[in-house]
Amino acid sequence: MTEQMAKIESRCDGCGGTLVRQVNQFIHRDQLWWDAEFSCASCGAAGCEHSGPGQAPENVRSALLAEHGPSRLCVVGPVSSLASVVKVVREVSQVSLPQARELADKLTDTGLVGTLAEMELLRTRLRSRGVTAEVRPDVGAEGRPIPS
């Protein structure tokens, strides 16, 4: 299962101690999901903040990217039709058609960069349309994540 976890620390409103938010992003029922729960060791405050499908908010994504590093997805096999890549990109990231074309171009060229779960979801969807792609840890900094 593709899942990444990160911890974000902030000040506890209740006691002024350290509140730890544990955030997860994963693939569930062929969709991107994220959840967050918080706990404070000083006063015992704890709870579930969010659990559901959809793109993770930017602060959750950046915590995951900082903890695990970005992943890069590249199409490696021959692409019989760029239109099917464009279609998959639109399904996954809800972008406009011109943006999806641009992202599809990148996918078949230098690749797209994002969190592991985002890239794995794209890879799975591409494979179901006969397009082979590979996810690997990103080493360069020139890529950009899929806009949410």
d(CA 105, CA 131): 14
Nearer to Zn ion, 11 or 127 (CB): 11
* Strand (E) or helix (H) holding 98: helix 97-107
CB of 13 to Zn ion, least distance (A): 8
80: contact with Zn ion by CB under 5 A: no
Interface residue with Zn ion among 3, 10, 11, 14 (CB under 5 A) is: 14
Nearer to Zn ion, 17 or 143 (CB): 17
Of 31-39, 45-53, 99-107, 119-127, the segment contacting Zn ion by CB under 5 A is: 45-53
Cβ partners under 8 Å of residue 134, min gap 6: 73, 74, 76, 123
d(CA 32, CA 117): 7
- In the complex, the residues that contact Zn ion under the rule CB under 5 A are 12, 14-15, 17, 40, 42-43, 45
